[in-house]
Chain A
Amino acid sequence: MKDIESIEAYLMNRMDQSSRDMLEKRLSDDPPFKALFESYQTTFDTLKRQWIKDEISGVKQRLIYRKIILTGIIVVALLGSIIYFSIDLMSDKSATLEVQNQVPLLVDTAEQIIKKDIIAPVFTPIETEASLSYRPDKREPYTILPQKDSISPLPANQDSGFIQSFFIDNTIDNTIACKGGTQLYLKANTLQTQSGQQNLEKVKIEVTEFSNYFDMWQHKISTTSGNRLLESGGSCYIKATSNGENVLLQKGEDYTIRFQSAYDSSMNTFYGSRDTLHQLEWQQSHDNMTNIPTTVSLKKLNLTIYDTVYYLEPIISDEGYYVRSNSYRMDQISGQTDLKAIFDTLACMPSEEAKKLFLMNRNLLFRFGVNRTGKVYGYDYNFILPKKREKQLKMVAQSIVNGTILPIENLKFDRAIINVTLKPLFKVVQKDSSFFLDSNLNKIKDKEEKKQVYNALVSSTFGYVNCDKFKLADKFSDINIQMPGKADVRVFFRDFNAVVNCTYVNGFATYANVPENAEILIVTVLQNNMMCLQEAKVGEPIVLADLEPFDLLKLKHKLMSYRLSL
């Protein structure tokens, strides 16, 4: 009984500081007492919750009565009767509790939030013409039109961060490994300058990879050839120079590009060129260049077990980090937003099996525990980041800690891998997931070294190079998006890697002959700094929905989460 009394005094804030300190110390030293304390705390919280709810509904009711009576008073006053009733329904003589006085004020504030759509100052949008268009109370028919006929390309400085530069000596064989996983194999003495100089010892190779939908959006990359839709297995832009002079391949020579996509024998080499409107068009190589498989060894996975936390630790090979074919490379993206993109994608996965596969394919192993109410209570993260980005690593780590419901238990930087172990909210630790059965863990432990086969193209020219195939489907249909005027409208496909730029015809942004019922993301950007991100299906009527101010990070988040990597 004494214990219960002290718990009661603690929970009711009726304890002096020294007694509080003593009780808190006992909580950490005495597990049975802690269990008793927690059971009473839950009981108190539940009781308190119900009382507060009763109080809120009581106050709301009183507010309604007050409004009715006040309306009556105004009506009476208008009729010329000077009657004044002193009504103070808000005062409650029996109110002695510490929260009761706050409830009417809070309910009143909350009522305002609900009724008048008051948004707290931190989120108040700037009242521009643009922002008004998505305020329901001030919404008007959409009439904002782009000022120019076409959207100008993005500012040049947006491109600069994506170009990777390498210096090679062409008198020897070279392998160039790019951040996004693309690799170039250049044989010795195969290059020459435009003026014919050979045996080049210093050649600058610049590579721009289009490894995901955001890259493709940024660089206005589409995947079409002669009005036919292409499915891409990877693309990039390559430029070679020596002392400022353009460098070409010698006649009859070629080089190999390996993309970070699983081998598909139907893929072929396509070369791209931009027209005067900056639109990219791909042409299949006339040299009959073929896609050849290249094999890369994947090292055996190490399984490290830390008490109840399991994760896979990749071994760094000479070629980089290879655990699975599609390691989720954080250097392509910004930390926090894209980690959330993973969560979003994860949340949309149809089954636990799909989740596991998704995570394993990205070298992300999460552990999900489930508490008694069926809620997920804990996660473990393990993902790869390049070591040189230590600042970013720390930021990502911090965002994980801040962005979850869980306190951090252990955070360490181990080589280029960030290992974060989060303590479960509850003490219950269930290893009920079949994935964590010893037999399955042993399977991973004993896994043999594997080989991964990638698409690799042979190319005889630099510039835009794409590993593509024509998209086949049972039935084709058209995309027609009702538009108030011309805009930059690009359509991204969910189930395969393809992007099209729509053209504006008679009030519609349109593109013909794409697979019917394919799921698409329509990205519309208008000249007046507005954008619209809309999901739809090919074949169904599409009307441009809510517009919002252009937000590059949001756009990136959306594109990255729509299809994480190509």
Chain B
Amino acid sequence: MLWVRKNSGSKEDAEDVVQEAIIVYLKISAKPGFHETSKPETLLFAIARNIWLYQLRQNKRMPYTDSDELLMIAGIEELDIIIEKEEQLKKIEYILNDLGEKCRQLLEMFYFRKIDMKTIAEKLEFRNDKVAKAMKYKCLAHAKELIQKQTK
């Protein structure tokens, strides 16, 4: 992304920023009441730009070579808060590697892929959907515990 590279960023920085922008975009678009007022690429660019400005500010890689105002995107007033939050989550996401493969699969299938408990129980070879459901809560509690430990 030219803009990031023009503003003290490498190609890797640009790719990282774009990946982060996609994550933020998906989170924003999943929010209830989200109405897309501009094209996805426009919004993606605006988000990516704000992320890079945020990172520059955090890493003190000043000054910018472009106007340094954060972009205000119509209807997404809390964008900067989301970016800040994502940047924090980025630091702790690795700890989910300690969750265990089966737990990760279970949580991913239920929360992300929205597969029903019965199918999950079959795929992951639990005795039945009730066992899978109990296991899901255990895994979620474990994930919460790991994250809390990290953020304390």
Q: A residues touching B (Cβ–Cβ < 8 Å)?
A: 1, 4, 12-13, 39-40, 42-53, 56, 94-100, 102-103, 105-107, 109-110, 112-114, 117-123, 134-136, 336, 340, 343-344, 347-348, 372-373, 375, 402-405, 407, 425, 554, 558, 561
Contacts and interface: CB of A to CB of B under 8 A. Distances in A.
Interface residues of B, number: 67
B140 A120 contact: no
B22 A425 contact: no
B140 A43 contact: yes
Interface in B109-142: 111-115, 137, 140
A491 B46 CA distance: 35
Interface of B: 1-3, 5-6, 11, 14-15, 18-19, 21-23, 25-27, 29-30, 32, 39-42, 44-46, 48, 54, 57-58, 60, 62-63, 67-70, 72, 80-81, 83-93, 96, 107-108, 111-115, 137, 140, 143-144, 147-148, 151-152
Report whether over half of chain A's contact residues are helix, strand or loop; otherwise say mixed. Answer: helix
Given A97-B112, A97-B114, A49 B89 contact: yes
A122 B38 CA distance: 11
6 contacts: A13-B30, A40-B140, A45-B89, A48-B111, A96-B113, A373-B88
A49 B92 CA distance: 11
A427 to B, nearest CB: 13
Contact of B84 (A46, A136, A405): A405
A404 B86 contact: no
A336 B89 contact: no
A547 to B, nearest CB: 12
Nearest to A5: B137
Contacts of A123: 3, 45
A506 B20 CA distance: 50
Nearest to A12: B111
A98 B26 CA distance: 9
A34 B145 CA distance: 17
Contacts of A554: 67
A113 B44 contact: yes
Contact of A1 (B54, B137, B151): B137
Contacts of B23: 49, 52-53, 56
A347 B62 CA distance: 7
A405 B25 CA distance: 17
